[in-house]
Amino acid sequence: MPSKKAIVRRPSPRLAEGLVTHIERSPVDPALALRQWERYTAVLAEHGWETAEAAPADDCPDGVFVEDTMVVFRDVALISRPGAPSRRPETAGAEAAAVALGCSVQRIQEPGTLEGGDVLKVGDTIYVGQGGRTNAEGLRQLRAAFEPLGARVVGVPVEKVLHLKSAVTALPDGTIIGYPPLVDDSAIFTHFRPMPEEAGSHVVLLGGNALLMAASAPRSAELLSGLGYRPALVDISEFEKLEGCVTCLSVRLRELSARS
Ligand SMILES: NC(=O)NCCC[C@H](N)C(=O)O
């Protein structure tokens, strides 16, 4: 039985100062962001996820995007070394949360850089985006950490968006979904299905056929409903203004060993 635990981190009061790379900056409403984050965590809980809050990182505007701080495979949390130097102080508190949940820890070491948003796991295959925040040494270190545990690691070019998972994620059956104008090379993926909206590329697998998706992707949600999935839509507009998407607001730990 897969575990359903997730690490989240509440938004910093400095959220509006978060990094913006590929889009125009627009004003962020911190109070609305907090309400949206609360709704996001409530939807996880409604679908049986136990959420653990990493210690707040109030001096880190991007700390809420906790997915970027680690990659968890089996029981191992590989703590990232963000490509964005301003994000490096985020990892310590996230690491403590992973340890409290029973993970053993490895860390990306300098000169490696890696952010969790660049890492898409589909079964035992781990796709790693290359071109932005994750460098070749980060990829090499991830491979060294996870191949001995049975992973197959595949490097994927990412030029058009911030992270690999800004471009593509995977449905429960392993089909990769993405918005074609933002996918560098969809031919890498054996089963690829185009989505009609950018935010339609982003799904969090909630268990069974339930998918957490952004409210900004109504046509994609309808398309996926037609395929038998059950989208739960959450408005994350304030995070989207900072290039965040639904995946980046949590780290899901699905493979933790049962502990007494
Ligand atoms: N995994 C993600 O999609 N993370 C989003 C990070 C957004 C943040 N403003 C950043 O540029 O690092």
Question: End-to-end alpha-carbon separation of the chain, Å?
Answer: 15
10 Å CB burial of residue 14 (0-12, 13-18, 19+) is middle
For 168-210, what is each residue's pLDDT tens digit? 999 999 999 999 999 999 999 989 999 999 999 999 999 999 9
191 as an active site residue: the answer is: no
Q: Which residues, 6 or more positions from 96, have their beta carbon under 8 angstroms from its beta carbon?
A: 54, 55
Q: Which of 28, 68, 133 to mutate to test the pocket of ligand 1 (most atoms within 8 A of CB)?
A: 68
67 Cα nearest atom in ligand 1: 1
Mean pLDDT of 204-221: 98
CA atoms within 13 A on the CB side of 249: 34
Name which of 7, 8, 3, 40 is nearest 240 in CA terms: 40
Task: Give domain 5-253's CATH number out of 3.75.10.10, 3.40.190.10, 3.30.360.10, 3.40.720.10.
Answer: 3.75.10.10
Cα Rg of the chain (Å, integer):
17
Question: What pLDDT, on a 0 to 100 scale, did the predictor assign at position 258?
Answer: 58
How many angstroms separate the alpha carbon of residue 28 from the centre of ligand 1? 14
Distance 19 CA to ligand 1 centre (A): 7
Q: Using DSSP, state whether 64 is helix, strand or coil.
A: coil
Distance of CA 240 from the midpoint of ligand 1 (Å): 9
Mean pLDDT of the chain: 96
- Ligand 1 centroid to Cα of residue 47, in Å, is 24
Annotation says 163 is catalytic: yes
Q: What is the pLDDT of residue 260?
A: 37
Q: What is the mean pLDDT of residues 218-240?
A: 98
Whether the complex's predicted ipTM is more than 0.90 is answered with: yes
Could you give the percent of the chain with pLDDT greater than 70? 99
DSSP letter for 226, please: H
Ligand 1 close to Cβ of residue 73 (< 6 A): no
Instruction: Give yes or no for residue 259 having a pLDDT over 70.
Output: no
Give Cα separations from 178 to 14, 65, 100, 167 (angstroms): 31, 20, 34, 6
Of 103, 163, 202, 245, the active-site residue reads 163
CA dihedral 110, 111, 117, 119 (to 10 degrees): -100
- pLDDT digit string, tens, across residues 114-148: 999 999 999 999 999 998 999 999 999 999 999 99
What is the pLDDT confidence band of residue 3, given thresholds at 50, 70 and 90? confident
